[in-house]
Amino acid sequence: MRIHRIDHVGIIVNDLPAAKDFFLDFGLEMLGEGEVEGEWVERIIGLQDVKEEVVMMRTPDGDANIELVKFHTPLDENGIQHPLANTLGIRHIAFAVEDIEALVIRLKKKGAELIGEIQNYEDTYKLCYIRGPEEIILELAEKINEIKGN
């Protein structure tokens, strides 16, 4: 037995069109979309009366996929949380990007929020966290120099 790769990351959202538009503006590509319901999915995820819409997207290189899911039923009674970077659990998705400053400007025009600042890490990466719709946190990493010793 061996693991080959991460197939996708699933993100549950309330406003599927807004999340889809955000990731399209970010640079992901559409793979497909559709509705999911029935006993088979209920048995997989351990919920009853499941009805959801799903949008599958991928990075331009095809190496990573994002699954956006809007549950029509059952609903999450807690609503959207506002997690901080140190909140326990899965907290962000990191993307290798080019021209981090231009990307941040473009995403901010679409309503995203820069959480801290763009920082230079040891002259090898520019890094930042940005919060998009549904409180989704992305880490952006732009490689600016080869790491010494590699």
pLDDT at 147: 52
Calculate the average pLDDT of the chain. Answer: 91
pLDDT at 84: 80
Q: Is the pLDDT of residue 145 over 80?
A: no
Q: Does domain 93-143 have CATH number 3.10.180.10?
A: yes
Q: Is the pLDDT of residue 24 over 90?
A: yes
Task: Provide the token pair at 69.
Answer: 């899911």
Buried b (16+ CB within 10 A) or exposed e, 30-52: eeeeeeeeeeeeeeeeeeeebeb
| Architecture per CATH, 9-73 | Roll (3.10)
pLDDT at 4: 79
Q: Is the pLDDT of residue 149 over 80?
A: no
The whole-angstrom separation of Cα 140 and Cα 98 is 9
Please, where in the chain does CATH 3.10.180.10 lie?
9-73, 93-143
Q: Is the pLDDT of residue 150 over 70?
A: no
% of the chain exceeding 90 in pLDDT: 78
pLDDT band at residue 15, thresholds of 50, 70 and 90? very high
Letter for the amino acid at 104?
V
Task: Provide the token pair at 139.
Answer: 């880490």
The whole-angstrom separation of Cα 95 and Cα 118 is 14
Q: What is the pLDDT of residues 71-119, one digit of tens each?
A: 999 988 887 788 888 888 888 999 999 999 999 999 999 999 999 999 9
